[in-house]
Amino acid sequence: MNKKLKVVLILVVLGAALYGVYASGLIDILRDFDKFRDLIENAGPLGYIIYALIFVVVAVFSLPASVVTIAGGVVFGPVLGALLALIGATIGAIAAFLVARYIARGFIVNKFGNNPIFKKIEAGVEKNGKDFLILTRLVPIFPYNIQNYAYGVTNIKLSTYSIITLITMAPGAFIYAYMAGELAENGITTRFFIQLVIAGVILFGVSQIPKIFAKKKGIDMDEVSKK
């Protein structure tokens, strides 16, 4: 197939999908928590699948994921909501990765190949492999949504990307969804404040891991984070 024709077809498909997302009212639902909760609760067991699919849409179209993560904790409860948020966020990240690798690879390379973020991720993977992926997942040097597409056009394995994404996203997904669910269920209590302090300590500890990891692996954090 002619390369230009392929790019046009990709743009048409993505455009149609984006139009479908807007036409379905999903964007409005994501902006209105009551609508979001009603959608999930009224769906019964299918609510779990719908929640995961929403993460796919959010990742593929680079929409804010934090709202969906927090909403999961409120709708499903602290523990189940945290687990579903982690699974959904991982599935969404993998979906965007697959779009970049198998559907829109040529278009993304031609359009964004010279983007500084894409170049740094490509060079980082070439030099440090999965260590660079771990580092950039733990430290928000680059936006997560951009990372999903950028890593899709590198030579990193899907299995490696999926496992590391799941593990490195776990602390944030669990803490945000769990705390939101706990607050919704029990309100502001002494227990909530204790859990909030523990969550803060955990997040601080996680934020220190990349510095130690980068030093051990010989990765220059200052060089990576330069604009």
94 sits in which H/E element: helix 78-98
Between 132 and 214, the higher pLDDT residue = 132
Q: Quick check: 226 pLDDT over 70?
A: no
Is the CB of residue 149 less than 8 Å from the CB of residue 96? Answer: yes
Q: Quick check: 217 pLDDT over 80?
A: no
Indicate the number of domains in the chain. 1
Tracing tokens 């601080």 back to the chain, one arrives at 204
How many other CB atoms are found less than 10 A from the CB of residue 105?
Answer: 15
Is the CB of residue 148 less than 8 Å from the CB of residue 97? Answer: yes
* Angle value at C-alpha 153, between 59 and 164, nearest 5 degrees: 60
In the DSSP assignment, the letter for residue 104 is S
Contacts of 40 (CB under 8 A, 6+ apart): 47, 50, 51, 75, 76
Tell me, what's the pLDDT at 7?
56
Please tell me the distance from the alpha carbon of residue 54 to that of residue 52, in angstroms, as a whole number. Answer: 5
* Mean pLDDT (whole number) for 3-27: 62
Range of the domain at 38: 3-225
Please tell me the distance from the alpha carbon of residue 218 to that of residue 101, in angstroms, as a whole number. Answer: 29
Structure confidence by residue, pLDDT tens digits, 127-174: 888 888 888 888 767 778 888 888 988 889 999 999 999 998 888 888
How many other CB atoms are found less than 10 A from the CB of residue 56?
Answer: 17
Structure confidence by residue, pLDDT tens digits, 66-108: 778 888 888 888 888 888 888 988 998 998 898 888 877 777 7
Quote the mean pLDDT of the chain: 78
Structure confidence by residue, pLDDT tens digits, 23-60: 666 666 666 777 778 888 888 888 888 888 888 888 88
Tell me, what's the pLDDT at 70?
83
pTM of the predicted structure, to 2 decimals: 0.77
